[in-house]
Amino acid sequence: MRQRNATHGWEKHAQLLAQAFALYRSGKGEEGARHCRAVLQSDPNNVKALHLLAVIRHASGKYDEAFRHLERAMKLAPDSAELRRHCIQTAASANRHQTALRHADAFLKRWPEALDVQIERARLLDKSGRPADAVRWLEDLDTRRPGNINVLAPLSSLLKQSGRLDDAEKVCRQAIAIAPDEAGLHNNLGNVLGRQERHHEAVECYQRAIDLNPRFASAYSNLGETLTTLGDHSNALAAFDRCKTRYAESRALVSLAHLKHWDEFDARLRTYAETDPINLRKASISAYCAERRSATDPYNFCPDPMEEIRIAPQDATDIPVDRLKQAVKVQDAVWEPSGKTTTGGFQSTGNLFATPCPVLGKLESHIRTCAERYRADRADLTTDLVLQWPDRYRLQAWYVELRSGGYQAPHIHPEGWVSGVVYLNIPDTGDAAEEGAIEFTLRGDTFPELANRPHPTIRHKPTPGDVVLFPSSLYHRTLPFDSQDARVCIAFDMVPER
């Protein structure tokens, strides 16, 4: 009888997990997750249930929860290569690159010839602030596996990123000689040539990549960006339109603005207002052009973002700033991380609020209160910023420590909803009142110059404890400063869980 009950329980669990997987594949992840939890309630050590629940949570962007399930599964099945791979992928998705690197090292100790993990290890070294080590790792891998384009392609990208542009070009051309019909290699070479400001040659590379793969969205996008740099906005528009991504749609709007094709610009925005109403890149170019043209903004996310900045002087002083400084100092940080806007400073990796730290937990609660207050203060607005306020969101936080001369280039936070900063340390800049200030503006770097009048600009020179909130679609930057003291802050995004 006991054996029959055990068999019946196993069959029921297998059935539930099969249903969970089918629900997940059909886009019903929450229902699938409930099935997994039902299995785990009666069998807490069911590795398949833990693994599938982790996969479902990863797909919904809940990386930290997914990683916890994977760690439990790993303790129960330490010899599973599939679980270890997913641990690496999930930790990396959560921006916990040091953790992902440790798992990659453990994987390679057990399976040293796994090329995909060897290559991923290089990427993780780079993301962990060790770009030189990443290059050395791939160069060594290239000597052991010569002529492998799967090694050469990321090696060329890392060399480009490290500023070794001649070496990057050489590796790209070596890879193309081995696989001349591989579109991605021509795209990579175009990226290298673009960094060398050899833009016309880069255009030829992107066009070759497109000839080899007419559906290569990245090549169309890169072609559009390069043509924009060259001032060829008509052909840039054509390239962006062929790309067919939400990002490219926003860049096509920039091209239309350069060309002053306002009828088409307005028509597209009216369509996007119905079909893609929460695209912050589209919101930013729309708000800028509406202000410059003295026109009504047809895109309703946040038509007047300069009016929606909230500056709360010393709003976080009930949380000891010194304790916050200590909490962020122990986090992993990278000097001038690639793909970020930080120059002359460190930026942390991962999510500060995923750290089990009481003072950071208190800050997260305070920021959630600030966000709800921000919303309540705007309850009478009819913009999507308020009307479509997400029911569920996570706070993604990181710290930035700028040194003398450091700054952050103008940028928006396209994955956020509302963004903000908590200031921990502000250098004394003497009479240079605006050094180290945060500046808000409507104009992005690639937007056209429109209207012969000054751009609206707001600058705030913060003090420790200040909390600033603003729409994530609003361009902002940090002004450089001359001081031996560091400028330290915690930045955050309110990220909808869609």
pTM of the entire predicted model: 0.83
The model's confidence at residue 429, banded by pLDDT at 50, 70 and 90, is: confident
Q: At what angle do helices 199-212 and 217-229 cross, to 10 degrees?
A: 160
The model's confidence at residue 1, banded by pLDDT at 50, 70 and 90, is: very low
Query: Quick check: 424 pLDDT over 50?
Result: yes
Q: Which of 27-41, 137-151, 320-334, 445-459 has the lowest mean pLDDT?
A: 320-334
Q: What is the pLDDT of residue 149?
A: 93
Position with higher pLDDT, 430 vs 239: 239
Q: What is the pLDDT of residue 333?
A: 79
Helix (H, G, I), strand (E, B) or coil at 300: coil
The model's confidence at residue 6, banded by pLDDT at 50, 70 and 90, is: very low
HSE, CB side, 13 Å, CA atoms: give it for residue 63: 22
**CA–CA gap between residue 101 and residue 90 (Å, rounded):** 11
Residue pLDDT, tens place only, 465-492: 899 999 999 999 999 998 889 999 999 9
The model's confidence at residue 2, banded by pLDDT at 50, 70 and 90, is: very low
- Per-residue DSSP letter, 488: E
Q: What is the pLDDT of residue 8?
A: 52
- Residue 377 vs residues 178, 219, 309, 380, 421: alpha-carbon distances, Å: 61, 44, 12, 8, 19
Query: Quick check: 374 pLDDT over 80?
Result: yes
Helix, strand, coil share (%) of the chain residues, nearest 5? 55, 15, 30
Q: Is 259 in contact with 237 (CB distance < 8 Å)?
A: yes
**CA–CA gap between residue 113 and residue 102 (Å, rounded):** 17
Name every residue whose Cβ is closer than 8 Å to that of residue 410 and which is 6 or more positions away in sequence. 341, 441, 443, 444, 445, 475, 476, 477
Which candidate, 195, 319, 132, places its Cα nearest to that of 140?
Answer: 132
Residues in the chain, total = 498
Residue pLDDT, tens place only, 299-336: 999 999 999 999 987 766 677 888 888 888 867 777 88
- Summary mean pLDDT of the chain: 91
Sign of CA dihedral 116, 179, 245, 262: positive
Q: What is the pLDDT of residue 162?
A: 82
Position with higher pLDDT, 323 vs 241: 241
Q: What is the pLDDT of residue 131?
A: 83
**CA–CA gap between residue 348 and residue 370 (Å, rounded):** 23
Structure token digits, residue 331? 């986090």
The model's confidence at residue 9, banded by pLDDT at 50, 70 and 90, is: low
Q: With residue 214 as reference, give the H or E element that holds it.
A: none
Residue pLDDT, tens place only, 175-184: 999 999 999 9
Query: Quick check: 364 pLDDT over 80?
Result: yes
Q: What percent of the chain has pLDDT over 90?
A: 76
For the segment 50-59, the average pLDDT, to the nearest whole number, is 94
Residue pLDDT, tens place only, 29-50: 999 999 999 999 999 999 999 9
